[in-house]
Amino acid sequence: MREALELATWETLYMVGWSALWTVVLGLPLGVLLVVTSRGHLATVPALNAVLGAIVNIGRSLPFIILLVAVVPLTRTLAGTSIGPNAAIVPLTIAAVPFFARIVETSLREVDAGLLETGQALGASRLQIIRKILLPEALPGLVAGITITVVALISYSAMAGVVGAGGLGDLAVRRGYQGYETDITVACVIALVALVQALQSLGDFLARRLTH
Partner 1 sequence: MITLSDVHKTFRARRPLFGAKKPDVHALNGVDLHVQPGEIYGVVGPSGAGKSTLLRSINLLERPDRGSVIVNDQDLTTLSATKLRHARHDIGMIFQHFNLLARSTAIENVALPLQLQGLSKTQRRQRAAALLERVGLADKLDAYPAQLSGGQKQRVAIARALAVQPKVLLSDEATSALDSETADEVLALIRQLRDDFGLTVLLITHDPYVVRSICDSAALLQDGRIAQAAALTELTPDSPLARRLKIATLASETTGSTRHRFVDVPEVSYA
- What is the binding site for partner 1 (CB under 8 A)? 112, 114-115, 117-118, 120-125, 128, 132-133, 136-137, 139-140, 210-212
CB-based contacts of 42, cutoff 8 Å, min separation 6: 36, 116, 126, 129, 130, 134
By beta-carbon proximity to partner 1, the closer residue of 76 and 109 is 109
The residue among 137 and 181 lying less far from partner 1, judged by its C-beta, is: 137
The answer to whether 15 touches 95, Cβ cutoff 8 Å, is: no
42: left (phi over 0), alpha (psi -120 to 50) or beta: alpha
CB of 209 to partner 1, least distance (A): 11
Q: From the CB of 106, what's the least distance to partner 1, in Å?
A: 17
State the Cα angle at 161 between 159 and 167, rounded to 5°.
95
Query: Which is closer to partner 1, CB of 26 or CB of 139?
Result: 139
Q: Cβ closer to partner 1: 182 or 211?
A: 211
DSSP string, 10-78: HHHHHHHHHHHHHHHHHHHHHHHHHHHTSTTSTT--HHHHHHHHHHHHHHHHS-HHHHHHHTHHHHHHH
Nearer to partner 1, 73 or 123 (CB): 123
